[in-house]
Structure 1
Amino acid sequence: MTAVPETDTGFGARHRVLTRGYGHRPDPDDPAAVLAMPIVLHIPKQNPPRRSALLEAAAMATIALCLDPRVGPDADGQPGPWQDAYLAWNDARIRKVSRRARGAQWLAAQDVDGITVDHDGAQARALVPGPVGDLDPRISRLQIGGTDLPHDDPGDPDPGIPVLWIDAGLDMTVGKAAAQVGHAVMLLAGALDEDAVRAWAADGYRCAVRDADPERWKELRTRAEEGRGPVAAVRDAGFTEVAPGSMTVIAVAG
């Protein structure tokens, strides 16, 4: 990823898409027409990445795609090639589905429209959203579940970067957690002003993912409910793994 130049006047318009939120229209009646962003996680058999680093890469790839000139408008005010697909998805429920890949599968996924982030020994690719029933075959054949990574202890986050705190009590799989931190960075970017998001972009959208123990989670929930921010909380719809309305991730600006 490259820094966003100050001359990219389209950045503000792309940021405003996030500030206005999502869910402006109902899901289609046909389940196959529901829109989702696929997130491909590189999890090789040998030397898999640390869980926290992989989740950070997934979050960084998600927000990078959401603010990429190809989702439009670009620096010249022109619609990007991914704009229609992205806006249609953002107007709905911003669903995300994580899939794992290794070897040739991971290489093939690089040819599907999206953005890959290589971060701290981990790689994740966020793909342009589309109907779940019309996935590129190179992606639809990838496994959704069946592989997880152990929780790790990466230490204190670097100062000055957003931290995405996960409710450790939910014990989400790495795939579910990747989707949730993807939601969190979008909500946080929408809560920040444009200058702050430009600065974040210039830093490659670095962020930290950490598990919150019960005591810290209680403090974070209070902060989110009282609106002491910038802070953004993700409440899950409850389609998989967690109960509807569960607060899964709380993102705190650096």
Structure 2
Amino acid sequence: MQLAVQVEKSAPPTHRAVCEAAAMAVVRLLTDPRSTEPEGPWHERVRRWESGRIRKVARRGRGIRWREAQELPGVTVDHDGARVRAFVPGPVDRVPPPLAKMQVAGLELEREEPKPPPEPPYAALALNPEVTMSTGKSAAQCGHAAQLLLRRGRAQDVAAWVAAGAPVHLTAGLPWRECVRRAVVSVRDAGFTEVPPGTTTAVAWLETGRPPEPHRPLWRRLWPWR
């Protein structure tokens, strides 16, 4: 899955806003009727992609290149000054020309102070503070975390989250150990770029507004039959 971030020289978005917008764009594409309906035009491509590695590549563009990319099938999210488009997945060796013209490496944006979370329900995402990643890499990892949460979260909580527009909050200030304790899903990177294979890059959980359940280890929440 290709992700494109609009980065205009006059008003670049922030790191946090891009990460959140990328996660929201991924979820909205995956829950779009064009993806979910068996007769939908995106259904088979999304199904095939999700049956293997859910690799994501973040690119940046502006001006005419950004506008040309909007003609390709996908979903754009405008969020807190950031604009990110998630595109229908395809083969990595056949990237459409409008996307191939966009730069992949080197997307690094200002890391602003955290903002308060939205009203529940929302997805809380946390990036591993012990791992150095660019904004582009971080956005892809947030997309992974949101996707895994969509597929593995409790059905009723996921449904409420999606119905609310799939809001996302990139947490800050919580100790990493506490984030891992709360997490429902964990992202382990394949190691194609920036980090070694197997690196835990991000975790995620749903904030529902209800009192938290008694703690269970992450592996028990992912595989309750064990």
Q: TM-score, normalised by structure 1?
A: 0.77
Return the offset for 1:159: 4.3
- CA gap of 1:56–1:223, structure 2 versus 1, over 3 A, is closer
Letter in 2 for 1:120: D
2 CA distance for matches of 1:138 and 1:148? 21
Pairwise mapping of residues 103-142 of structure 1 onto structure 2 (< 5 A)? 103-142=63-102
Match of 1:162, SS state, is strand
- CA gap of 1:212–1:236, structure 2 versus 1, over 3 A, is farther
Match of 2:171, SS state, is strand
Equivalent residue pairs, number:
206
Letter in 1 for 2:109: L
1 CA distance for matches of 2:180 and 2:147? 18
CA RMSD between the two structures: 1.5
2 CA distance for matches of 1:43 and 1:212? 27
Q: Deviations over 1:80-106 (max 9, x none)?
A: 101111111111101000100111111
Q: 2:16 aligns with which of 8, 28, 52?
A: 52
Structure 1, unmatched stretches of 5+, are 1-36, 225-230
2 CA distance for matches of 1:212 and 1:232? 19
Q: Deviations over 1:167-199 (max 9, x none)?
A: 122121011111100110111112223332222
Which residue is 2:188 aligned to?
235
Once structures 1 and 2 are overlaid, which stretch shifts more, 113-122 or 187-196? 187-196
Return the offset for 1:211: 4.3
Letter in 1 for 2:34: R
Q: Deviations over 1:187-221 (max 9, x none)?
A: 111222333222212211111113467xx112223
Contact 1:167 1:212 in 2 (8 A): no
Which residue is 1:219 aligned to?
178
Which residue is 2:135 aligned to?
174
Contact 1:167 1:211 in 2 (8 A): no
Structure 2, unmatched stretches of 5+, are 208-226
Return the offset for 1:158: 2.7
Q: TM-score, normalised by structure 2?
A: 0.86
